């Protein structure tokens, strides 16, 4: 039996949260409101090869994502020390937020399925208006939207802006 959370839906206000990133800097989602979109990858942690690959792709495409008015935020179950080691060894230029207490996981409905080895990946795009504009809950550990899908969603979101 797994830990169930309430899934979020497109069009609803994104649940706000504050956290400390791996560098000890304060982070608050609502600070992006009116300024930037946020591409949030809720991953399974550094034990997951699919999540590691996805983080590397997000880093490689960060300028394409940022040129569309978005910031990338990776949330995972690992400790700040584990984030530090991974970020520094890969020279990542992404926001990395440890969530070992599962606070953000629960707010965003990221599923935990013990029979599928823990957390399942989830991806959320929060528009600069503070609304959820894209959400994908992975059905397996490898079910993560590719970066071109996220870029297309950001392009669509930017076209819809007044």
Q: Please write the tens of the pLDDT for every residue from 92-134.
A: 999 999 999 889 988 998 776 655 566 788 999 999 999 999 9
Residues 6+ apart with CB under 8 A from 131: 11, 12, 13, 14
Predicted structure pTM score: 0.91
By the 10 Å C-beta count (0-12 exposed, 13-18 middle, 19+ buried), 52 is classed as middle
pLDDT score of 85: 95
Above 70 in pLDDT, residue 5? no
pLDDT score of 112: 67
- The domain made up of 18-159 has a fold known as Glutaredoxin (3.40.30)
- Where exactly are the structural domains of the chain? 18-159
Please check whether residue 108 is in contact with residue 99, taking contact to mean a CB–CB distance below 8 angstroms.
no
pLDDT score of 140: 82
List, in sequence order, the alpha helices (H) in 91-136: 103-108
Stretch 65-94: mean pLDDT: 95
């Amino acid at each position: 039996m797994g830990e169930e959370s309430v899934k979020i839906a497109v069009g609803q206000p994104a649940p706000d949260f504050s956290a400390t990133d791996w560098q000890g800097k304060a982070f608050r989602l609502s600070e992006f409101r009116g300024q930037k979109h946020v591409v949030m990858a809720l991953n399974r942690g550094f034990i997951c090869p699919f999540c590691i690959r996805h983080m590397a792709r997000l880093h490689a495409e960060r300028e394409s994502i940022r040129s569309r008015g978005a910031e990338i935020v990776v949330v995972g179950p690992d400790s700040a020390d584990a984030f530090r080691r991974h970020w520094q060894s890969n020279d990542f230029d992404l926001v990395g937020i440890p969530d070992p207490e599962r606070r953000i996981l629960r707010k965003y409905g990221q599923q935990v399925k013990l029979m599928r080895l823990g957390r399942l990946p989830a991806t959320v795009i929060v528009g600069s208006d503070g609304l959820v504009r894209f959400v994908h809950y992975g059905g397996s550990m490898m079910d993560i939207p590719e970066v071109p899908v996220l870029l297309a969603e950001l392009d669509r979101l930017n076209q819809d802006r007044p």
